[in-house]
Amino acid sequence: MDNEEKSGFGRRELLKLSVLAGTVAAGAGLLRPQPAFAQAGELSLKGKRIGISTAGTDHFFDLQAYNAQIEEVKRLGGEPIAVDAGRNDGKLVAQLQTLIAQKPDAIVQLLGTLTVIDPWLKKARDAGIPVLTIDVGSTNSLNNSTSDNWGIGKDLALQLVSDIGGEGNIVVFNGFYGVTPCAIRYDQLVNVVKYFPKVKIIQPELRDVIPNTVQDAFTQITAILNKYPEKGSIKAVWSAWDIPQLGATQALTAAGRTEIKTYGVDGSPEVLQLVADPSSPAAADVAQQPAELGRVAIQNVARLLAGETLPRETYIPAILANKANVKEVSKKLGIG
């Protein structure tokens, strides 16, 4: 009895211990994200001056990212020094130059032609100012916040393949394979299609152009519809961004071939509107989250100034908007 009790106690003790251990482990598991959360709450830019420079604010994307950065710096208690170059490279450089001389605690550069801004980002770094970027892959930037283009490409391709039931001909615009994000999205499409042998990319692929993207896509799609006149011979049109998609959608509507679906990327408000229209051929558009990009970039600044090491790139997930969820997505993006 004594023994038994002892042993029982021992067993119970063991059980207790193991339960305790389990609880601790589980607690730790629960708690582990907690410190990160607490830290995110503790992020502060109090007393810091953050330079925010943008190539322009004339597109939906830039304006959202720019304003979100300013708001976030203020929210974290810092002072934003925000300059907008209005798509003028001379102004952009002059503003960066003055910004460097102002010696802020960090500079965040949003967009801009790499060859133009890179020498000045280097000068900022030489002057001891940390430089972060949004959508600019510069070696002089400590961290670049950008959308996950692999995810974008995969999501769009899977949506397309599932919409067309895993078989049929698709028309592809592939005019900007030289632009890295476009190349990644295209490669992901090819990767997905590889496992659906009944899906065929119509050759030759189309070349989208800048400028006159919409008109040109309209003309090219109209031409290819004449080449494939019977319904069902084309199932979908894919493009790496949504401005060719806009032209393609208009061409399909004009030709009465609304059974063909169109796919693109960027979440331009006018295309999201088409996705929301039940009778429009626009089936899906992957929207980037410009405001989130801006906020994350500023949070990264706060982390960096708090002594953390930043990853080379921070990926912001993009949201796929299709006929079913486009209303919510638009709301989340602050459109309409």
User: What count of other Cβ atoms lies within 10 Å of the Cβ of residue 240?
Assistant: 29
| Per CB under 8 A, 93 contacts another protein | yes
Q: Which of residues 162-221 bind another protein (CB under 8 A)?
A: 211
* Start-to-end C-alpha separation, the chain: 77
Residue 31 CB, nearest approach to another protein (Å): 41
User: H-type helices in the chain, by residue range?
Assistant: 2-31, 33-42, 60-75, 89-102, 114-126, 149-163, 180-194, 213-227, 242-255, 269-276, 290-305, 326-333
Structure letter (DSSP) for residue 88: -
Helix (H) or strand (E) holding 104: none
Quick one: which segment of 115-123, 162-170, 199-207, 313-321 binds another protein (CB under 8 A)?
115-123
Quick one: which segment of 38-46, 81-89, 138-146, 266-274 binds another protein (CB under 8 A)?
81-89
Quick one: which segment of 98-106, 254-262, 300-308, 318-326 binds another protein (CB under 8 A)?
98-106
| Per CB under 8 A, 139 contacts another protein | no
Residue 145 CB, nearest approach to another protein (Å): 23
Residue 57 or residue 146: which is nearer to another protein going by CB? 57
The correct pick among 7, 102, 180, 215 for binding another protein (CB under 8 A) is 102
> How many residues sit close enough to another protein to count as binding (CB under 8 A)?
26
Quick one: which segment of 80-88, 166-174, 220-228, 281-289 binds another protein (CB under 8 A)?
80-88
| Per CB under 8 A, 63 contacts another protein | no
Cα–Cα distance, 283 to 237 (Å, whole number): 10
Q: Hey, CA dihedral for 325, 326, 332, 336, is it positive or negative?
A: negative
Residue 94 or residue 335: which is nearer to another protein going by CB? 94
Residue 123 CB, nearest approach to another protein (Å): 9
Q: Collapse the DSSP code of 30 into the 3-class scheme (helix H, G, I; strand E, B; otherwise coil) and give the result.
A: helix
Amino acid at 136: V
Residue 118 CB, nearest approach to another protein (Å): 7
| Per CB under 8 A, 77 contacts another protein | no
Closest CA to 140 of 169, 95, 109: 109
Cα–Cα distance, 12 to 89 (Å, whole number): 74
Give contact residues for another protein (rule: CB under 8 A): 79-84, 86-91, 93-95, 97-99, 101-102, 113, 115-116, 118-119, 211
